[in-house]
Amino acid sequence: MKPWRILVVLPLLLLLGACGFRPLYGTDGVSSGVAGDLASVAIPEPKSRLDQLIRNELLSTMRPAGTAAPDRYRLDIAANAVDDRSIENSSDARQARRLTIRVIASFQLKDLSGGKVVYKGTTFSNVSYDDVQQSFSDMQARTNAIERGAREIALDIRTRVAAYFSR
């Protein structure tokens, strides 16, 4: 490497270290970090199929097998799916239509020691699917779209909760 590049890169690296940047899921050697905090979040049994899909995804990413910790927090989730809009391709009724579903979820993270809500938020996902005007295909496409939306919602909730724990 040329000497002038070293003179430019070295101060930039020193500034990066001084800015307080640290990886979201990193550990500092003293505590278990965000991953340990995520493993201590209990997610109660859901009320609907959509809530169950979100819960399953959260459990598999926040509390993978063998990483469960004593419950210190509870994450309450309430979600619903709404048919949002239709995008028509043409006036020909035999062609597929593009439909959109909006999956909306609100969540609250509660500290179990005091019952206080420490973090809450709302998130959404717009997912689309083709309506080919065949009953079974349309039903399966809609179900798959809702499952995709639930996965996106779960990942967003996980990221937000992890960001809360990283403070």
Give per-residue pLDDT as tens, 29-70: 434 578 888 888 999 999 899 999 999 999 998 887 766 678
Considering only CA atoms, which of 76, 65, 56 is closest in space to residue 150?
56
**Comparison of pLDDT for 99 and 96, the residue scoring more:** 99
Band the pLDDT of 10: cuts 50, 70, 90. confident
- So what's the pLDDT on residue 17? 62
The span from the first CA to the last CA of the chain, in angstroms, equals 38
Percent of the chain residues topping a pLDDT of 70 = 81
Q: Specify the CATH class of 33-165 in words.
A: alpha beta
Report the chain's mean pLDDT, rounded to a whole number: 84
Q: In angstroms, how far is CA 60 from the centroid of its own chain?
A: 12
**Comparison of pLDDT for 84 and 74, the residue scoring more:** 74
* Helix, strand counts (H, E) of the chain: 4, 4
Taking residues 95-110, report their average pLDDT: 91
65 vs 138: CA distance, rounded Å: 35
pTM recorded for the entire structure: 0.77
